[in-house]
Amino acid sequence: MRVATEKIPITKPSITALEIEYVNDAVANGWGSKCYDYIYRFEREFATYQNSKFALATSSCTGAIHLALLALGVKEGDEVIVPEITWIATVEPILYIGAKPVFVDVLPNTWCIDPSKIEEAISPKTKVIIPVHVYGNLCEMDAIMQIATKNSLVVLEDAAEALGSEYNGKKAGSIGDAGVFSFHGTKTISSGEGGMLVTNREDVLERAKILNDHGRNPKIGKMFWMGEYGYKYKISNLQAAMGCAQIERAHELIEKKRLIFTWYKSQFNDTEKFSMNPEFKDTFNSYWMPTIVFSKDININRERLFEFLKQSNIDSRPFFYPLSSLPMFESNRSNGVSYDIYERAINLPSFYDMKREDVNFVSEKILQFITKS
């Protein structure tokens, strides 16, 4: 039996000569009057990729969410509807503003926000819905946009994990009033750290740009004059240089993610014991993070499985905890799907250099653990 002599990581960026060339150029030449060249280029090329009118590069997706919420008019005391299953960064900017996140349950097949639960959660204080395309899976955007229109709400798509995923031919992140992306080192494309806000609304872009420049309005034309306080979530030219190389390679990188997923799918073909990221009609899943949900009758002990995989030099990750289960929030166990799934689900390795034999090794170890349990 094969032994993994080197650790099989959960994920890492794909770095080629192109990334090195662009970053070296930014280091050598991207200063003075050229200090924004790669930033502007990254924004243009990303907007083109997304089929969005506008894009604003940021230092993180968290920063992009914060700017987007403010630009969409969220104020202290407003309510923002979010799914139970997402990374904390979706919610923290809501708290920065003094608004209230309202957690709603997810669908059992996509692990994305349940539109019917959104309607139940709407109150007179509701301002925004944030659907999260978790692990590359697609939210039911048609239903969500209809709910938003009916109730005069705005939609901010969190597509941090879904670059390249498509819903009815539209890129994830391009459907709502605004969308956000992450370029953390674990993401589909990476700049080390970084984020992007995309929108078709010029008013949202202009407001976000002012807020992202310490409150300076370029239309006033006075250097160092701030009409209000703002923030600084700016990406660096060096990071943007890497981002330019990565967005050029987006198709290649997504296709490798999809190939890795098909390798896993062929190993876990017992649908009674496992379920994985879905891809329904009229959707295209970029499969950022291959995820396996074990059936209840297996009675999986997730912590023991993590330790077993670690002993085999295999990295893995837990499925996101329900956010309302965290100590800073009030528990909401009525979101039963979220509280059920997380304890029996894990994320699998999918780094770009992964080979078929690596996937087979990981899969065999999981099956071995289940057999012994």
Looking at residue 49, what is its pLDDT?
98
In 72-193, where does DSSP find H-type helix? 92-97, 115-121, 141-150
Looking at residue 217, what is its pLDDT?
86
Q: What is the pTM of this model?
A: 0.96
- Please check the confidence at residue 4 and state whether its pLDDT lies above 60: no
- Please check the confidence at residue 218 and state whether its pLDDT lies above 90: no
Average pLDDT for residues 16-26, to the nearest whole number?
98
Contact 234, 59 (CB under 8 A): yes
92-96 contacts at long range (C-beta below 8 A, 24 or more positions apart): 92/62, 93/62, 93/65, 93/66, 93/69, 94/69, 96/66
- Please check the confidence at residue 223 and state whether its pLDDT lies above 90: no
- Please check the confidence at residue 10 and state whether its pLDDT lies above 60: yes
The pLDDT-based confidence of 270 (bands split at 50, 70, 90) is confident
Reported as a single tens digit per residue, the pLDDT across 28-63 is: 999 999 999 999 999 999 999 999 999 999 999 999
Reported as a single tens digit per residue, the pLDDT across 177-199 is: 999 999 999 999 999 999 999 99
Contact 156, 69 (CB under 8 A): yes
For a pLDDT cut of 90, what percent of the chain falls above it?
91
Domains in the chain, start-ordered, CATH in brackets?
A: 17-248 (3.40.640.10), 250-372 (3.90.1150.10)
Reported as a single tens digit per residue, the pLDDT across 132-168 is: 999 999 999 999 999 999 999 999 999 999 999 999 9
| Backbone angles phi and psi of 214, in degrees to 5 | 65, 20
- Please check the confidence at residue 3 and state whether its pLDDT lies above 70: no
**Beta-carbon contacts of residue 349 (< 8 Å; ≥ 6 apart):** 8, 9, 10, 11, 314, 315, 316, 358, 362
H or E segment at 258? helix 250-267
Average pLDDT for residues 230-252, to the nearest whole number?
98
- Please check the confidence at residue 313 and state whether its pLDDT lies above 90: yes
Quote the distance between the C-alpha of residue 302 and its chain's center. 23
Between CA 120 and CA 130, with CA 126 as vertex, the angle to 5 degrees is: 80
Looking at residue 272, what is its pLDDT?
80
Computed over every residue of the chain, the mean pLDDT equals 96
Q: Per mean pLDDT, which range of 57-71, 197-211, 220-234, 295-309 is the poorest?
A: 220-234
H or E segment at 82? strand 79-83
Looking at residue 2, what is its pLDDT?
57
Between CA 246 and CA 193 the distance in angstroms is 13
Reported as a single tens digit per residue, the pLDDT across 73-114 is: 999 999 999 999 999 999 999 999 999 999 999 999 999 999
